[in-house]
Amino acid sequence: MAEAIRAIGVSEVAYYRWRREFGGLKTDQVRRMKDLETENQRLRKAIADLTLDKLILQEAARGGRLEPRQEPVSKRG
């Protein structure tokens, strides 16, 4: 097994990690899962962008400036 893993250019650690994560799935299931993860990432970015736009518009509607958020004193370095 180790020889086959080396032949495809993958470390044994990576192989066993992939096997643990995807071992019971068929190829089409893994592809679908990867597609869903990509879509999820895209949607999370869209939500973050829209949330920022909303905050900017709310602040503009109040007539104020958008000030940078400051961390609480306890979290500062």
More confident residue, 4 or 46: 46
pTM given for the model: 0.53
More confident residue, 65 or 12: 12
Q: What DSSP designation does 68 have?
A: P
**Which pLDDT score is estimated for 71?**
67
Round to the nearest angstrom and report the end-to-end CA distance of the chain. 49
**Which pLDDT score is estimated for 64?**
66
Q: CA angle at residue 1 from 21 to 17, to 5 degrees?
A: 20
Q: For 18-65, how does the pLDDT look when each residue is reduced to its tens digit (9 = 90+)?
A: 888 888 888 899 899 999 999 999 999 999 999 999 999 999 998 866
